[in-house]
Structure 1
Amino acid sequence: MLSEIFDLTAADPKTLQERALKLCEEAGEVAQAVLSATGAPGTAYKGLSVADVREEAVDTIIVAMAVLAQASDSRDFFEAEFERLILQKCQKWQATLAVDP
């Protein structure tokens, strides 16, 4: 899957700036879906469900991965950096959970 994301990113002419702005747009769509799915005031008319939240979350993940791919010099670096950063960030998250009451 990482290889496919790297290849698709390479084939897409968007700049890193355009991709980062697209990521912000996708994050907004996740927020909108969550608000609607959880019945936040003023969002019921959208009629979005938890399935929509999942779909928007995946869109956001794909664009975020494309940002990482575009900021990488090669497919091998992209894959290694993804694994390194995921491990590092998960360890940090785990450490935070361990200190929180």
Structure 2
Amino acid sequence: MTDPDTPASTSVSALWPRIDELWSRLEATRTHTGTEGLLLRVLKLSEEVGEVAEAIIGTTGQNPRKGITHTWEDVQAELCDVVITALVALRTLTPEAREVFEAHLKGVGERPLVPPAKTRSPGD
């Protein structure tokens, strides 16, 4: 059950101001600008996704040299880092990040869960 003092709508409405805040802080300390800076910010996603993979490997003990080194909570935290990094990268690409994301999310939500049935052509 959701805590009435922190409704889901409050945390969602706080998301974009926080992303803007993180973006502003990163922009203020940026050493690479223009296309290079944008590409590096997007490439940061690959690093974060790699950390998710590392955490999963560590959770399952799949590296025999290291054994179990992570928890599922670590995986959750790394996934959160991926989401934050992606939203900051989107904000870097466009000041309308919220609108772009929400429109895209709406479209994804409207996609059918099953592919349309194929119609057979004559001669199949």
Structure 2 residue runs without a partner (length 5+):
1-14, 31-36, 116-124
Q: Aligned to 2:39, which of 7, 11, 17?
A: 17
Please identify, of 28-37 and 5-14, the stretch whose mean Cα deviation from structure 2 is larger: 5-14
Between 53-62 and 82-91, the greater mean CA deviation after superposition:
82-91
Aligned-residue sequence identity (percent) comes to 28
Look up the equivalent residue of 1:67 and give its one-letter code: A
TM-score between both structures, scaled by the size of structure 2: 0.65
Offset at 1:45? 2.6
What displacement does 1:91 show?
2.9
Task: Give 1 or 2: higher helix fraction.
Answer: 1
Q: Looking at both structures, which has the greater relative contact order when contacts are Cα pairs under 8 Å and sequence separation is at least 6?
A: 1
Match of 1:79 in 2: 98
Deviations along 1:19-49, one digit per CA (max 9) or x if unpaired, are: 1121110000001111221333537535111
Rg larger for: 2
Match of 2:110 in 1: 91
Q: For 1:68 and 1:41, how far apart are their aligned partners in 2?
A: 34
Q: 1:58 deviation in Å?
A: 0.5
Please provide the CA RMSD for this pair: 2.2
Q: 1:47 to 1:38 in 2, by over 3 A?
A: same
- Deviant stretches of 4+, over 2 Å: 38-46, 89-92
Which blocks of at least 5 consecutive residues in structure 1 are unaligned?
A: none
Structure 1-normalised TM-score? 0.77
Residues 10 and 47 of structure 1: is their aligned pair in 2 closer, same or farther, counting only changes over 3 Å? same
Shift of 1:87: 1.7
1:33 and 2:47 aligned:
no
SS of residue in 2 equivalent to 1:12: helix
